[in-house]
Structure 1
Amino acid sequence: MLVLLLGYYLAQVGHGEAGPILSLEPRDLPSYGDQSINSRTTWSIVWSCLSTIFLCTWVAVHPNVTFRRENPNMGRFEKWLWDPLQEFFRYKLILFLWALLVPEYILAWAARQYIRAGEIQKEVPGWTRGHGFFMIMGGFHLFRPPALAPYVALPLGSKSPSAFVLPGGNYSREDEVPVCPIQIKDISIEILKIVAPTEAELKDKGKSDGLTKLIVLVQTLWFVIQCIARGLRDLPLTELEIVTLAYAMLNLFTFVFWWDKPRNVECPVRLYKPAMRVHANGDKGPRKLGNNWFTATFFRVLTYVVGQQDDSVDIVEVSSIPMFWSGRLEEKSLFGATLGPAILGVVFGIIHCIAWSSEFPSAIQAILWHVSCIAMTLIPLVLVCICAVGRVPVGTLDEYGPWIKLLVIGCSTTLALTSWLYIAGRIATLVIALTTLRSLPPGAFISVDWTTFIPHI
């Protein structure tokens, strides 16, 4: 989408008034202090920015397991084209758009999974945080063996039979019936020791290793360093570079949280139960969002914003782990996991304000940029207030109880009603960043002379 839009504007630039700017020669560039003039092209700027944005919105995202039942009777057309397209449009494209339009939410999702994975790691002896991630992301899936297939119950330490079994007999695994994902509360530690993959097997399931992640992290960090260097040398940044800088800042933290999470795992570990009962009745059921469509929509938006959407999901009723599932955290841990990303979301909006006084091609674009920056800064700030109040221990602010409740209700309502404004601001800044490529200032084409940063005589 971005590439097509960019190609359109570059094609228009070639025939518009901004054409001469794209073909500036070094002799046409102004002098900036005592540094030597090294020119760069519009395409080099665009390529650097779009490649970094791609790394931040596609490569950096570590999705949950998207389990789909296999169809042995699938034809070649379905297998090679229709099935991959379905996966792309129903899952990967949606995740990409979320990362593009609401990158702070992806960061908050990573932070929640990081915290929950650490809790699971402590519950199972010998497990790493990667095992905790694997459990959260739907790495274990419950199946039912065929009706006539023999099976043997897995023994526990007390020699009593387990509800989980090992199926046998001569049958195809395609005849096994998938039921639902399995969470840590549904399975004993003794069974996990038998069926869980080792650390090496867990790394083998992921589609990227430490070196790949390090290369992406270095590329992102290198872009940030280049932007800082241009600021130190008083060289202007284009609006597209400012947008990319904001993405890169969030991506650094997202990568840290998801460093141990296996990426693009497609096949979960199969566990078997012959009975219909799936989960133990040990926790509260899913939360009801409302009795009518308006209240249900309102609370659904609010729960997604603050990260409580998992409370309204019953894992028994789903065939695959939800897209943004991170496990049910205690409210204090949940608000703590959301508070940091919300603060970084405010910083994300502030970074866009670097271009506040830039010269835009039109007054309308300048106004839209300013309004978008305000929305992208203030709306996450409202979420910061909610999370900060949620982190306060119960009873600390009893004397201010009614006022605190009024503040939370007001902030929550504001947040739910203005979410669309935030997304509109994100779209506006992306479009403006691309359209301003038609009229970049001459200083934007000057490269940083890195020798000025090296001490020498």
Structure 2
Amino acid sequence: MNQDNQRSLANIIRSCLSTIFLCTWIAVHPNIHFRPEKLKQPWSEKWLWDPLHELFTYKLPLFFWALIVPEYILSWAIRQYIQAGKFSKQVEGWTRTHGFFLIMGGFHLFRLPEGAPSIPLPIESSKPCEVVIPSGTNPGKDAIPVCPLKLDDLSTDVFGFIAPTEGELKDRGKSDALTKTIVLVQTLWFVIQCIARGIRQLPLTELEVVTLAYAMLNFFIYIFWWDKPKGAERPIRVYKPFGASHEESGKPLREWPENRVWRWAQTVFEYTIGVQDDYVKLSQRRSVPMFWSGRLGYDAAHDILFATVLGAGFGAMHCIAWSSDFPSRAELVLWRVACVAMIAIPAMVTMGVGLTNLSLVNERYFGWLMIIAEIIVVLLVLSAWLYIASRITTLVIALTTLRSLPPAAFTNVDWTTFFPHI
């Protein structure tokens, strides 16, 4: 056989792993992980220790979450997209980018030290406002960080006044439209190659099937987070004078159950449907939580059904290798069980959220619908670890099956059959 029409195992691995890494790393747009600035910081701490600490304690854990449960990252992106759209309509002149920046912890309250000179904010606010502008030499240098701000913490007039333009916000990010487009093009090229192999009846390796599933899901993450600044590390400072108070605004917070077992079960459920923000008191936080979305609450749970449907589709993509030639019977069985679990568990989330919302609008069958929904919740809590185990199983099997691939898996697509003039 013509060696020019062959691909090596190294090429397959390199193509798949680079696609998974790039599309996942670039797709994830983290919130701002606030770190107070230190005066006269040693260069080793500033350029070595702090970046490494940030990488291993925040960015890498978030990256691994995106590898193990990419559907959750998608639902997080959808929640932020919905909330950013709502915020953009409440402040005059704001865009969705401004809404994203607020959600990700982009506005942080600082309190000036005692005796620090300042001037009142030169605007007429719709409600009492204690926000000031520091003045004098090195204004705000010794200000004490307090907490991230929500939209209801200050008047919308204040946010409209202090917020930069959309272009200035995007400039704070570490990625632009060109970078995202390049990654999208590379991912699209990988997808086209997989489709072409299917048309020519050339087998895909399990690693390529996994990569294809990631590419599909990360494409939608790109879309929902397109306007969110990526990699912004410093929030906009909002100052209040020494002694000024700051109380938690918005609806009352919910509290976790005291019983440990029920608390664990409720935690799994609340995080699964994305309403864990209702338990967070942001005024006591140095930074917004990793998966903070701005308290959408149960009334917006139906808006993330799209994410759960795509999550089931992500599991279904792995079924492409359902009838592949696995090196052993055990790997075949484990792969199929994992595929079923990755389809069934997101489907249970879809059913649970759907029935809960249906019960709220249909009083006639409220009791039965709630009973069914509660059964689904119990099954979901019990099967949460099964889903994570299934994700890890597919990743491991995708690598172990590389030891014994069919000869046709090494055959390249002959593009001249698609474009005869080449």
TM range (shorter): over 0.9
2:415 matched to which residue of 1?
450
Pair 1:88-2:55 in alignment: yes
Where do residues 237-316 of structure 1 align in structure 2 (5 Å cutoff)?
237-274=204-241, 275-279=243-247, 281=249, 283-316=250-283
Pair 1:132-2:99 in alignment: yes
Matches of 1:223 and 1:280, distance apart in 2: 48
1:106 matched to which residue of 2?
73
Q: 1:323: how far off?
A: 0.6
TM-score between both structures, scaled by the size of structure 2: 0.95
2:340 matched to which residue of 1?
374
Matches of 1:456 and 1:75, distance apart in 2: 63
1:441 matched to which residue of 2?
406
Q: 1:352: how far off?
A: 0.7
Letter of the 2:173 partner, please give it.
G
Where do residues 1-400 of structure 1 align in structure 2 (5 Å cutoff)?
26=2, 38-157=5-124, 162-171=129-138, 173-274=140-241, 275-279=243-247, 281=249, 283-336=250-303, 338-392=304-358, 394-396=360-362, 398-400=363-365
> 1:335 touches 1:390 (CA, 8 Å); kept in 2?
no
Q: 1:48: how far off?
A: 1.0
TM-score between both structures, scaled by the size of structure 1: 0.88
The SS at the match of 2:189 is: helix
1:20 matched to which residue of 2?
none
The SS at the match of 2:133 is: strand
Letter of the 1:378 partner, please give it.
A
The SS at the match of 2:29 is: coil
Compared with structure 1, are the counterparts of its residues 177 and 158 closer, same or farther at alpha carbon in structure 2 (3 Å cutoff)?
Answer: closer
Letter of the 1:444 partner, please give it.
A
1:430 matched to which residue of 2?
395
Compared with structure 1, are the counterparts of its residues 158 and 328 closer, same or farther at alpha carbon in structure 2 (3 Å cutoff)?
Answer: closer
Residue-pair matches, total: 421
Deviations 1:211-233 (A, max 9, x none): 11111111112211111111111
Q: 1:333: how far off?
A: 2.0
Taking only aligned residues, the RMSD between alpha carbons, in angstroms, comes to 1.9
Matches of 1:104 and 1:242, distance apart in 2: 17
Compared with structure 1, are the counterparts of its residues 219 and 288 closer, same or farther at alpha carbon in structure 2 (3 Å cutoff)?
Answer: same
Letter of the 1:241 partner, please give it.
E
Deviations 1:248-281 (A, max 9, x none): 0001100000000000000100001124422464
Pair 1:402-2:367 in alignment: yes
Matches of 1:106 and 1:125, distance apart in 2: 30
> 1:149 touches 1:171 (CA, 8 Å); kept in 2?
no
Matches of 2:386 and 2:197, distance apart in 1: 32
Percent of paired sites with the same residue: 55
> 2:126 touches 2:157 (CA, 8 Å); kept in 1?
no
The SS at the match of 2:77 is: helix
Matches of 1:327 and 1:161, distance apart in 2: 23
> 2:129 touches 2:155 (CA, 8 Å); kept in 1?
no
The SS at the match of 2:229 is: coil
> 1:142 touches 1:272 (CA, 8 Å); kept in 2?
yes
Matches of 1:116 and 1:294, distance apart in 2: 32
The SS at the match of 2:110 is: strand
Matches of 1:325 and 1:428, distance apart in 2: 29
Letter of the 2:124 partner, please give it.
G
> 1:361 touches 1:439 (CA, 8 Å); kept in 2?
yes
